[in-house]
């Protein structure tokens, strides 16, 4: 049956003519959407609205590293491709969603990934990681600063397996303490975490445990692997499944990344295929 939204009928998600199922894996974007600790807040202005102009038109000021987004290699590694220079097939393809439940500040390692997906991952896959952290996505320190995260051995696993895109339901392509949140470039943004980490770790210094700045970003980007941060939405519904992903960014000249609508697509009856592109 159709879905009616504000008086307009749309085809139901599970009953479209193609027989495909669509799952939103993106968090919301908009006014007061959760933001990284030192980024400027999103600003949205109605420059035209119904009572004034008879039409709605809005102006948005935002970083492209807000909500669910994809990083271009040029975001961290100088001299590498900007988002408009990445080939279009990189933003579409088959892949897997794996479950790796993690708690505060725990690491996502090579061994974790090998155990969860070593026998099922394929070269060219998109790999999305569900740690469970997307359920904590709000404007709070817990989500952005206390999250689990990828460590260098995980980056090497992705390169070894020749995947093309990595995504996860946490705030960065690195452990948060290997970013400016911790003792690195432009940081520490949250200095009080030094003592908290020492207590949590049994006395270790965060500078010793996270000596490099964003090492996983660099491992991935130098290998041509892109990273999707802040995955969410219906992630649990496709975890443990092989699906098709689509997540196209803007054609932004010299863009350092882009907010995306990450969508997982399944084809239960295998009846639909992409058209041949023949003339009609």
Q: Is the pLDDT of residue 226 over 90?
A: yes
pLDDT (tens digit, 9 = 90+) per residue, 7-59? Answer: 776 665 556 677 889 999 999 999 999 999 989 999 999 999 999 999 999 99
Determine the pLDDT at residue 46.
95
Determine the pLDDT at residue 269.
82
| Cα gap 25→246, rounded to integer Å | 10
Do residues 178 and 240 lie in contact, with contact meaning Cβ atoms separated by under 8 Å?
A: no
Model confidence at 203, pLDDT cuts 50, 70, 90, reads very high
Whether the pTM exceeds 0.85: the reply is yes
- β-strands 242-246, 92-99: how paired? antiparallel
Determine the pLDDT at residue 268.
86
| Cα gap 158→139, rounded to integer Å | 30
Mean pLDDT of 152-161: 98
Q: Is the pLDDT of residue 273 over 80?
A: no
Q: What is the third-level CATH fold of 3-266?
A: Glucose Oxidase; domain 1 (3.50.30)
Residues above pLDDT 90, as percent of the chain: 86
Lowest mean pLDDT among 8-12, 68-72, 144-148, 243-247: 8-12
Determine the pLDDT at residue 38.
86
Model confidence at 72, pLDDT cuts 50, 70, 90, reads very high
- β-strands 149-150, 43-48: how paired? unpaired
Determine the pLDDT at residue 5.
81
Determine the pLDDT at residue 42.
96
Q: Over the chain, what is the mean pLDDT?
A: 94
pLDDT (tens digit, 9 = 90+) per residue, 73-110? Answer: 999 999 999 999 999 999 999 999 999 999 999 999 99
For residues 275 and 78, the model is more confident at 78
| Cα gap 63→211, rounded to integer Å | 27
Do residues 212 and 185 lie in contact, with contact meaning Cβ atoms separated by under 8 Å?
A: no
Q: Is the pLDDT of residue 139 over 60?
A: yes
Determine the pLDDT at residue 13.
57
Determine the pLDDT at residue 12.
59
Q: Which residues pair with 94 in a beta bridge?
A: 244
pLDDT (tens digit, 9 = 90+) per residue, 165-188? Answer: 999 999 999 999 999 999 999 899
Model confidence at 1, pLDDT cuts 50, 70, 90, reads low
Determine the pLDDT at residue 271.
73
Q: Is the pLDDT of residue 128 over 80?
A: yes
| Cα gap 275→108, rounded to integer Å | 39
């Amino acid at each position: 049956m159709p879905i009616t939204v504000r008086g307009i009928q749309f085809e139901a998600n599970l009953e479209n003519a193609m027989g495909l199922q669509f799952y939103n894996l993106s968090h919301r974007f908009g006014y007061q959407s959760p933001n990284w600790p030192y980024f400027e807040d999103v600003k949205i202005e109605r420059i035209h609205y119904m009572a004034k102009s008879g039409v709605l038109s809005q102006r948005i000021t935002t970083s492209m590293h807000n909500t669910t987004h994809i990083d271009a290699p040029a975001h961290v590694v100088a001299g590498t491709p900007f988002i408009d220079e990445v080939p279009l097939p990189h933003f579409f393809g088959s892949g897997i969603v794996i479950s790796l439940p993690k708690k505060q500040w725990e690491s996502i390692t090579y061994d974790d990934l090998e155990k969860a997906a070593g026998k099922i991952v394929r070269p060219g896959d998109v790999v999305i990681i569900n740690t469970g952290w997307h359920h904590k996505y709000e404007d709070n320190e817990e989500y952005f600063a206390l999250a689990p995260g990828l460590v260098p051995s995980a980056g090497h696993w992705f390169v070894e397996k020749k995947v093309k895109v990595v995504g996860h339901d946490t705030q960065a392509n690195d452990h948060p303490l290997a970013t400016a949140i911790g003792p690195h470039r432009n940081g520490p943004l949250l200095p009080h975490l030094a003592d908290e980490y020492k207590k949590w770790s049994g006395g270790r210094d965060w500078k010793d445990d996270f000596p490099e700045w964003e090492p996983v970003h660099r491992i991935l980007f130098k290998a041509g692997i892109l990273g999707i941060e802040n995955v969410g939405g219906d992630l649990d519904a496709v975890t443990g499944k092989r699906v098709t992903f689509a997540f196209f960014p803007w054609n932004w000249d010299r863009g350092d990344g882009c907010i995306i609508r990450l969508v997982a697509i399944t084809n239960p009856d295998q009846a639909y295929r992409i058209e041949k592109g023949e003339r009609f």
